[in-house]
Structure 1
Amino acid sequence: MNAVVEFQQYSNVGFEQIRTCFDEEYGVMWSFMRPEPRPCFTQTALQDLLLQHTHLESMKGRVVSQGNFEQTNYLILASDVQGIFNLGGDLTAFQEAIRAQARNELLSYAKLCIDNVWTFHNMQAPITTISLVQGQAMGGGFEAALSAHVMIAEKSAQMGLPEVLFNLFPGMGALSFLSRKIGMQAAEAMVRSGKIYTAVELHEMGVVDVLAEDGQGEKALHDWIRKNHRSLNSFQAIQRAKQRVNPLTVEELYEITEIWVDAALRLNERDLKIMERLVRAQDRKVAQQEQDVAAQAIAQAF
């Protein structure tokens, strides 16, 4: 690949919880998620992603890179957090809204999620969207990965929809995206099971499109782009045709997320306690990842 440049020309203040860069050789725009305090979909991360992606869409993929107009051909959703793609919805915010029975607040968050997956899935520009899953993608993180035209995952990646554990269901696109890939019966079985799948299992099921060796996700992505770039116009036309044959509408996604909000507001204290335990587990995982990164840095220093 040629020059890769940091790219942040969407607002005067810049992004807070994503990092962007642009690779000129094939026109690859990267969105690296880096949410805080945990790697889930915070309001800020969602707003950053939506700003970047809607701006690209409005410009038909044209960007200014190093003083020149360039065309974005590929938009990549990836993570800056080692070992974690995204752990899904902001469970702490969910608990607060549910306990307060703040329907409008919960619905506003849910619609922001839908706006993100819909824009990424239905990009109104000649751009192919790709999710690169390295590490864990849970709940809404898995849904975001599913919304891409192409999903690439490393073998050790784990993905699942654990919402059933706290008596809910994934309401930000899981059934819609999965049913169009593997059929409704298999999609419902995944949603109802709460099972965590390996990338290898999901590749065998037809959910993951490209399976990469561990640590080779970016190489597999670059290889896929090089292999398919000459037929990019054909690939994008087929994606549009698939949408015509088996259409997905934003209205469908909005209506399902309304069902999700109403179901969430019916959760009881026992369900919310389970949600709290998941948050604590997420915090422990993040702390362990930070320790592992620090240990690696120390080892490399010597």
Structure 2
Amino acid sequence: MPPVTGPAVQLDFRKEFDARRLFNLRQLEVSYEESTGTLWTFMRPDGRPSYNPALLDDFHAWQQGITAMFADRPHDLRFLVLGSRTPGVFNLGGDLNLFAAKIRERDRAALVGYGKSCVRILHRNLNGLGLPVVTIGLAQGDALGGGFESLLSFNVVIAERGAKFGFPENLFGLFPGMGAYSLIARRIGAARAEEMILTGRTYTAEEMLEAGLVHLLAEPGQGIEATRDYIARQRRRHAGTRAVFQAGREVAPLSLEELDRIVEIWADACLDLGERDLKVMQRLVAAQNRLPSALAAAE
């Protein structure tokens, strides 16, 4: 009898491939702790600690792999944690080199494509990948621009004292166009969202705790241990905690269509930038490019 090669078998193979790939991503370090039902993930970006296109591809594969691995046993995944292996940095945001190049080329489609890739990752994370999971963003260092945006899509944000948060895009005439306004406005109000975005001010972890955008503080170097403590405390009340976050999504839903429309606004704003703005952007890139080597030398 010939082997079965119908759609169901092909689908099973695809799921198996995605699940295996989850633990072999280039810029994401992933491990599953079965005893607590926790999937630990740490960003290890190539070069500048920002969301380069290859890292975005890894995040899409990461989400596909999680879905493939746990779709048939959803209650095995209870907590999903994302942190960073870059000392002193969670993530510095968008790929500014790419932005500057595409702005000079007047390539609106590429800018929109990058933005829509980001918001699809954010929107799936915001909705827990459709799984009964509590998501935890662990900031052991600075989360700026798109790095802060992505952090806001987690149910719980744990930050080490000394970490900084903010949106520097206003320095070069832009705004964070991939979820920041939508997420902050829903949590603490539109006026505060506009203040944070338009001033370009940097905030401490303590200030973000007071504002309600960070949920727990850890001492420097103790972020992972603080996350483990949180998971240990929540294990018996996981169902109720998860349900509260699910209810929050019902009360203040955020649609992918809204995020896409804001990406379009952001892309148009990009094309309004002048050469002076692009030079400021590239000076920031140069400073960020020096950061990983400086931090490595300090370590």
TM-score by length of 2: 0.90
1:127 Cα deviation from its structure 2 partner: 1.2
Q: How many residues align?
A: 281
Find the counterpart in structure 2 of residue 286 from structure 1.
292
How many angstroms apart in 1 are the aligned matches of 2:21 and 2:237? 34
**Aligned alpha-carbon RMSD (Å):** 1.8
Indicate the structure with greater helix content: 2
Cα distance per residue 1:135-156 (max 9 Å; x no partner): 1111000011111011000011
Do structure 1's residue 129 and structure 2's residue 135 form an aligned pair?
A: yes
SS state at 1:148 partner: coil
How many angstroms apart in 2 are the aligned matches of 1:227 and 1:126? 17
1:10 Cα deviation from its structure 2 partner: 3.7
Find the counterpart in structure 2 of residue 265 from structure 1.
271
1:132 Cα deviation from its structure 2 partner: 0.1
Decide which moves more: 44-53 or 164-173. 44-53
Preserved contact between residue 51 and residue 93 of structure 2 (Cα < 8 Å): yes
Write out the 4+ residue segments of structure 1 that deviate beyond 6 Å after TM superposition. Answer: none
Do structure 1's residue 212 and structure 2's residue 218 form an aligned pair?
A: yes
SS state at 2:254 partner: coil
2:273 partner amino acid: L
How many angstroms apart in 2 are the aligned matches of 1:208 and 1:197? 11
How many angstroms apart in 2 are the aligned matches of 1:42 and 1:10? 23
Preserved contact between residue 180 and residue 246 of structure 1 (Cα < 8 Å): yes
SS state at 2:21 partner: coil
Do structure 1's residue 104 and structure 2's residue 115 form an aligned pair?
A: no
Find the counterpart in structure 2 of residue 81 from structure 1.
86
Equivalent residue for 2:38, pick from 28, 38, 46? 28
Find the counterpart in structure 1 of residue 236 from structure 2.
230
Cα distance per residue 1:156-179 (max 9 Å; x no partner): 111110000000000011011111
1:28 partner amino acid: T
How many angstroms apart in 2 are the aligned matches of 1:247 and 1:9? 29
How many angstroms apart in 2 are the aligned matches of 1:114 and 1:59? 23
1:109-188 map, 5 Å: 109-123=114-128, 124-188=130-194
1:55 Cα deviation from its structure 2 partner: 2.7
SS state at 1:172 partner: coil
How many angstroms apart in 1 are the aligned matches of 2:270 and 2:44? 26
1:202 Cα deviation from its structure 2 partner: 0.6
1:84 Cα deviation from its structure 2 partner: 0.8
Find the counterpart in structure 1 of residue 66 from structure 2.
56
1:62 Cα deviation from its structure 2 partner: 5.8
User: Higher RCO, 1 or 2 (CA under 8 Å, sep at least 6)?
Assistant: 2
1:276 partner amino acid: Q
Cα distance per residue 1:5-57 (max 9 Å; x no partner): xxx94439931111111112211101211111211001111111121123323
Preserved contact between residue 19 and residue 66 of structure 2 (Cα < 8 Å): no
How many angstroms apart in 2 are the aligned matches of 1:175 and 1:12? 31
Distance 1:252 1:143, change over 3 A: same
How many angstroms apart in 1 are the aligned matches of 2:59 and 2:80? 11
How many angstroms apart in 2 are the aligned matches of 1:61 and 1:239? 20
Distance 1:61 1:196, change over 3 A: farther
Question: Identity over aligned residues, as a percent?
Answer: 42
1:61 Cα deviation from its structure 2 partner: 5.4
TM-score by length of 1: 0.89
How many angstroms apart in 1 are the aligned matches of 2:28 and 2:22? 15
Find the counterpart in structure 2 of residue 297 from structure 1.
none
1:72 partner amino acid: L
Find the counterpart in structure 2 of residue 5 from structure 1.
none
Q: Which runs of 5+ in 2 are unaligned?
A: 1-17
Q: Which runs of 5+ in 1 are unaligned?
A: 1-7, 64-68, 294-302
